[in-house]
């Protein structure tokens, strides 16, 4: 059974994203996949991953798996080397900076499969590829910075913004990738709002024209009605028809935007859609068939 460690030289480099994307792909391919992490040098189930997947059918024991993918957090390079030797594990690094990639790659070279470079801005990608191609580093993929992994859910927004009223909670756990502020636009309203997916509309509660345009776009996940104004009955009816929650807040649009900006700094990997999004990001960056060939090849015989 191949054991793969996914680690980094620092915190919050994207390990959970890579772990989740590969694990989801492995499960899709029908492999009995154990997804784990370390607790005091012992491998245990990755509780966050399994909670988000919400499926007992995919679980398997570590010793009964076709593939074990293990996230290592807050561990020194020496500890990673010791644990990888103990479990005969291969290693995938997830890094952001050039200096950390070179240093960690050199230290783990014997068991290193390769490196994912995370959080890459699109305009940087070509330059990074050119720079890394000149060095003897096995880059598995360049992972774009993406809104979907930095998104809050409607539920999280409702909890964090302390609304005075919430109308309909039936469909409140969708991710919010774009925040649109209601106002005057030159385009036809529904056409304008349809340019963006997974949106939250932030608008004064007494602007039914803007609210209805956003609802008609088909991409709206929540309405945040500011100034403590409850939208008119027809807006409530249309929002209910499309199962769009509305929260009424007593702050201004500007104050709510400031509060959301603060909340975005605390976003974690805590939504089932983020596992699927992580898989999509990896799919766009690498050839999974080749990766799984490498994963299944033992280091020692």
pLDDT, residue 183, reads 59
Structural domain count of the chain: 2
> Is residue 138 domain-shared with residue 12, that is, in the same domain?
yes
Regarding whether 126 and 91 lie in a shared domain, the answer is yes
Q: Supply the CATH number for residue 134's domain.
A: 3.40.50.300
CATH number at residue 174: 3.40.1390.20
Q: Does residue 89 share a domain with residue 57?
A: yes
Q: Is residue 198 part of a domain?
A: yes
Strand partners, 93: 7, 115
Instruction: Answer yes or no: is 94 within a domain.
Output: yes
Instruction: Answer yes or no: do 164 and 133 share one domain.
Output: no
pLDDT score recorded for residue 139: 85
Torsion of the alpha carbons at 90, 268, 65 and 27, rounded to the nearest 10: -110
Task: Tell me how far apart the 2 most distant CA atoms of the chain are, in Å.
Answer: 71
Q: Read off the tokens for 33.
A: 């996949």
Residue 163 lies in a domain: yes
Q: Are residues 176 and 156 in the same domain?
A: yes
Q: Do 164 and 186 fall into the same domain? A: yes
Contact between residue 34 and residue 28 where contact means Cβ atoms under 8 Å apart: no
Dihedral of alpha carbons 119, 125, 127, 129, sign: positive
Dist CA 181 CA 157 (whole Å): 15
DSSP codes, 84-146 = HHHTT-EEEEEESSHHHHHHHHHHTTTTEEEEEEEEE-HHHHHHHHHHHHTTT--EEEEEEP-
| pLDDT for res 186 | 47
In which domain, by residue range, is 230 found?
Answer: 152-264
Whether the model pTM is above 0.75 = yes
136 and 234 share a domain? no
Per-residue pLDDT of the chain in tens (301 residues, 90 and over written 9): 899 999 987 777 889 999 999 999 999 999 999 999 998 888 999 999 999 987 777 889 999 999 999 999 877 888 888 899 999 999 999 987 666 677 777 777 788 898 898 877 777 777 777 777 766 778 888 888 787 888 888 888 888 899 999 987 676 788 999 998 875 554 556 777 888 889 999 999 999 989 998 998 888 999 999 999 999 999 999 999 989 999 999 999 999 999 999 888 778 888 999 999 999 999 988 899 999 999 988 765 4
- What is d(CA 217, CA 198) in angstroms, rounded to the nearest whole number? 11
pLDDT value of residue 40: 83
* Whether residue 277 sits in one domain with residue 143: yes
Count CB atoms within 10 A of the CB of residue 22: 26
Asked if residue 301 is part of any domain, the answer here is no
**Contact (Cβ atoms closer than 8 angstroms) between residue 113 and residue 141:** no
Angle between helices 272-283 and 15-28 (to 10 degrees): 80
- Same-domain status, 110 and 123: yes
pLDDT of res. 187: 55
Q: Could you tell me if 191 and 144 lie in one domain?
A: no
- Residue 108 and residue 199 in one domain: no
Residue 122, phi then psi, degrees to nearest 5: -60, -35
**Are 87 and 106 contained in the same domain?**
yes
């Amino acid at each position: 059974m191949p054991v793969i460690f996914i680690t980094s030289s620092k915190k919050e480099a994207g390990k959970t994203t890579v772990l989740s994307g590969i694990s989801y792909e492995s499960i899709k391919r029908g492999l009995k996949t154990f997804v784990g992490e370390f607790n005091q040098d012992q491998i245990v189930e990755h509780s966050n991953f399994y909670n988000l997947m919400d499926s007992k059918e995919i679980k398997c024991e570590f010793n009964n798996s076709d593939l074990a993918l293990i996230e290592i957090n807050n561990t020194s390079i020496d500890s990673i080397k010791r644990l990888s030797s103990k479990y005969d594990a291969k290693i995938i690094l997830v890094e952001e900076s050039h200096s950390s990639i070179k240093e960690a790659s050199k230290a783990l070279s014997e068991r290193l499969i390769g490196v994912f470079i995370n959080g890459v801005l699109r305009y940087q990608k070509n330059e990074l590829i050119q720079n890394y191609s000149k060095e003897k580093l096995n880059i598995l993929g360049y992972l774009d910075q993406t809104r979907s992994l930095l998104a809050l859910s409607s539920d999280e927004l409702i909890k964090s913004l302390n609304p005075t009223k919430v109308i309909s909670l039936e469909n409140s756990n969708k991710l919010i990738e774009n925040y649109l502020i209601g106002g005057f636009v030159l385009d036809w309203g529904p056409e304008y709002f349809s340019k963006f997916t997974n949106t939250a509309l932030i608008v004064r509660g007494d602007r039914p024209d803007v609210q209805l345009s956003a609802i008609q776009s088909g991409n709206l996940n929540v309405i945040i009605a500011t100034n403590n104004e409850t939208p008119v009955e027809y807006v409530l009816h249309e929002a209910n028809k499309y199962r769009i929650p509305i929260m009424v807040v007593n702050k201004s649009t500007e104050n709510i935007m400031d509060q959301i900006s603060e909340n975005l700094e605390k976003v974690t990997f805590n939504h089932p859609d983020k596992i699927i999004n992580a898989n999509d990001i990896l799919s766009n960056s690498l050839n999974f068939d080749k990766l799984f060939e490498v994963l299944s090849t033992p280091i020692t015989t």
